[in-house]
Each structure stands twice: as structure tokens, then as C-alpha cells.
Amino acid sequence: MSPRRREGVPRPTADSRLAAALRDAIVTGALAPGTPLREEELAGSHEVSRHTVRAALATLHAERLVQIIPYAGARVATFDDAAVAGLQELRAALESEAVRLITERHGATWPADVEAPVLEAIERLGVAEAADDWMEIIRAHADVHRRIVAGSGSPRIIEAHASLESEVLLLLAHVRPHYPRGALAAEHRVYLAALPRDGSACVHAHLRHSTELIRAARAASTSR
């Protein structure tokens, strides 16, 4: 017997189920950047209508996982250096404001209900690094930053930050910056400790360093 659906929870629509399946394939690398996404092929392989495919692709386009090009159709998104920089700048702006709100509310000593969830995510990141599981590493890494932003208590900032997560996962799934095993968890413990003291400057320095590593990894991969 299938598990009962909770009352009041809407059943996923066909287009949301297709969007979820394509999203997972994109961020895990099963669909590489630049891969064409043809409506007729997707409709046939997923046994849905082309209208459903168009709705799913529109959802992923809004998340910047899919590029829709007039007269050329849809394809999995690709990144150039300008796109990487823009994404990181927006992340920095949102995270900086979240940190400012936390520190404004709590001062230089963040309370346990703000700090503990971030530390828990960092521990998960360390476990993923020990297993050398890159997809789990990038998901745990996203969770660290998500929980920092959640500490702001600002629904709009949390929502805006969450809207970037799929795009960040796509980028990092295909570009693996060089971090010695265990370095990411250690770096984020230092980052968390410095945030109440250094605020926005700390956020910008952290993400600037990340951007430099991503660019270096991209350059190395294209020169092979």
C-alpha cells in the first residue's frame, strides 16, 4: 500500500514532477551544460505532453538552470566568468545583509539557535569531505550558507537566497575547485567564528576567495 498523502498537501503536478526530475539530472551532471532539451524527446521519454514539458522548462529557466534561446530551443545552462562573478556578487549581497541583521539583533555573540544549526551543517560537510563525495560536499556546503542566511529571520532574504541554490549546485557540480580533503569544513568553521566580528567584509572576502578558486578550476578544465 502506498503511503497516505498528508491532508492539505497538494499533489505534485506533472510539470513540477518533470521539473524536479530534470533539475536532479542537471545538477548531478547526468545532463551536461549545453545539452539540448528538445520538447518532443522529453515528452516521449517522460510520457507527458509538450505543454507539460514547456511548463517544466519555464520553471528551470526561472531558476537559471536552463537557457531558452529564440528559434534554437532550450539547453542546459552554461557559465562564463561574468556569470560566475554575477552569481557570487548576488550571494555576497544577500548573505552580508543576513549577517548584518543577525549581528544587529544579537551583537557579537550569536545565540545557540543561530550558531548550532550552522555548526551541524559544517559537521555534515566534514563527513562528506571524508567520504570524498563531491555531490554531497556541494549540497552540505549549500546547507551551511542556507543556515547562516536563515539566522536572519528575514523571509524575503531567505527566499531570494534559496532561489540561487540550484544555480550554485549546477556550477559546482561541473567545476570542482581545488580544496584539500577536510579544508572546506575547516574553512567554514573559521568563517562562522569571524562573521559576528567582521560581518560584511568577512562575507565578501570568503566569496571572493571562492570565486577565484572556481575561475582557476574553470581555466584548468578548458585548457586540458
What is the pLDDT, as a whole number, of residue 112?
A: 95
What is the pLDDT, as a whole number, of residue 71?
A: 84
Hey, what's the cell of 4?
A: 497516505
Task: Break the chain into its structural domains and give their ranges.
Answer: 14-76, 81-223
Which CA distances in Å does 11 have to 8, 49, 88? 9, 18, 35
Instruction: State whether CATH 1.20.120.530 applies to domain 81-223.
Output: yes
Which CATH number applies to 14-76? 1.10.10.10
Residue 195 has pLDDT above 90, yes or no: yes
Mean pLDDT of 166-180: 85
Burial class (CB in 10 A: 0-12, 13-18, 19+), 20: middle
Distance CA 215, CA 171 (A): 11
Tell me the pLDDT tens digit for each residue of 89-114: 999 999 999 999 999 999 989 999 99
Residue 17 has pLDDT above 90, yes or no: yes
Percent of the chain at pLDDT > 70 equals 94
Percent of the chain at pLDDT > 90 equals 67
- Asked if residue 81 lies in contact with residue 215, where contact means CB atoms within 8 angstroms, the answer is yes
- Asked if residue 88 lies in contact with residue 211, where contact means CB atoms within 8 angstroms, the answer is yes
What is the pLDDT, as a whole number, of residue 199?
A: 94
Cα angle 176, 64, 45; round to 5: 90
Residue 203 has pLDDT above 70, yes or no: yes
Mean pLDDT of 180-184: 88
- 3 state SS of 36: strand
Q: Confidence band (pLDDT; 50, 70, 90) for 8? A: low
Q: For 36, how many CA atoms within 13 A lie in the half-sphere containing its CB?
A: 7
Which carries the bigger pLDDT value, residue 218 or residue 42? 42
Residue 30 has pLDDT above 90, yes or no: no
Distance CA 148, CA 118 (A): 6
Tell me the pLDDT tens digit for each residue of 48-64: 999 999 999 999 999 88
What is the pLDDT, as a whole number, of residue 180?
A: 84
Q: Confidence band (pLDDT; 50, 70, 90) for 1? A: very low
Q: Confidence band (pLDDT; 50, 70, 90) for 39? A: very high
Q: Which H/E stretch holds residue 68?
A: strand 66-69
